[in-house]
Amino acid sequence: MVNFHNLPISERLTLTRRGTAFYSGQLALIGNHEFGDPTLLEDWDVAHLAAHVAYNANALCNLMHWASTGEETPMYSSPEARNREIEFGSTLIPDAIRNLHDHTLVRLDVAWRDADDAAWSSEVRTAQGRTVQASETLWMRTREVWLHAIDLNKTGNFSDVPRVILETLVPEIVQKWRSNGDGAGLVLIDSDSGNSYEASETASIEIHGTLAGLARWASGRGDAGVESPQGKVPSPPRWL
């Protein structure tokens, strides 16, 4: 399996930009009158989700500024400030949200374009408190745009997501469960490759499906495309 994190920066940038284009295309399918419609994320309509994705780009710009200058610049001043920002953004008229999206994605792409090797390897801190190299912002954004493109609930599907991203996402989710002590007995089995992903030392509940189906289920987007020999497919543990 190929892991996103092991690819050269240039290839990771390409995948991130593909995801951005995919998300932008899905957003373009939504009429202004539909910004109050629900998404696949509970309690968030299109306006909330689109505002969140736009502000996420700004937050990653903060990390790239930190990496490039050494000036500590957190993604958000606090979790409460992040939530207030999204709530405010969701009240903007649809065209303003679209403009915010266009502006922030260009700003982030310029920050990546101008980063040198030292910046990419500089350590920054995520909103969850993890210390990572600035190159991790590429995965953070990649995951963000591909998943939320699907969450817009138009034509996007997990089958549209490049396999290398799915091969990175599914093990990441399962590892998060393991580290949190969640998912006891769960093992995810890719019906195409036979690869398995175990959430604990014991494997008593098998979830079978294509990698796209496993990613959908594990990320909490429904159980279409997966099944369990043990019977009813359970709800997955919380991931983020």
| HEC assignment per residue over the chain | CCCHHHCCHHHHHHHHHHHHHHHHHHHHCCCHHHCCCECCCCCCEHHHHHHHHHHHHHHHHHHHHHHHHCCCCCCCCCHHHHHHHHHHHHCCCHHHHHHHHHHHHHHHHHHHHHCCHHHHHCEEECCCCCEEECCHHHHHHHHHHHHHHHHCCCCCCHHHCCHHHHHHHHHHHHHHHHHHCCCCEEEEEECCCCCEEECCCCEEEEEEECHHHHHHHHCCCCCCCEEECCECCCCCCCCC
Q: Are residues 79 and 191 in the same domain?
A: no
Query: Does residue 234 sit within a domain?
Result: no
The CATH number of the domain holding residue 222 is 3.30.1050.20
The pLDDT of residue 121: 97
Query: Does residue 63 sit within a domain?
Result: yes
Mean pLDDT of 135-153: 98
Query: Does residue 232 sit within a domain?
Result: no
Q: Are residues 29 and 100 in the same domain?
A: yes
Confidence band (pLDDT; 50, 70, 90) for 136?
very high
Q: Are residues 145 and 195 in the same domain?
A: no
Domain final residue pick, 156, 183, 212: 156
Confidence band (pLDDT; 50, 70, 90) for 116?
very high
Number of domains making up the chain: 2
Q: Are residues 25 and 142 in the same domain?
A: yes
Query: Does residue 167 sit within a domain?
Result: yes
Q: Are residues 72 and 186 in the same domain?
A: no
Q: Are residues 172 and 128 in the same domain?
A: no
Mean pLDDT of 47-58: 98
The answer on pLDDT for 201 being more than 90 is no
Q: Are residues 124 and 37 in the same domain?
A: yes
Q: Are residues 31 and 78 in the same domain?
A: yes
Domain final residue pick, 106, 139, 156: 156
The pLDDT of residue 2: 83
The pLDDT of residue 231: 87
Q: Are residues 151 and 213 in the same domain?
A: no
The pLDDT of residue 204: 86
The CATH number of the domain holding residue 136 is 1.20.120.450
Domain final residue pick, 125, 156, 187: 156
Q: Are residues 103 and 171 in the same domain?
A: no
pLDDT tens, position by position, 22-44: 999 999 999 999 999 999 998 89
Q: Are residues 98 and 210 in the same domain?
A: no
Print the domain residue range for 120: 4-156
Query: Does residue 240 sit within a domain?
Result: no
Query: Does residue 236 sit within a domain?
Result: no
Q: Are residues 73 and 115 in the same domain?
A: yes
Query: Does residue 211 sit within a domain?
Result: yes
The answer on pLDDT for 91 being more than 80 is yes
The pLDDT of residue 200: 86
Query: Does residue 183 sit within a domain?
Result: yes
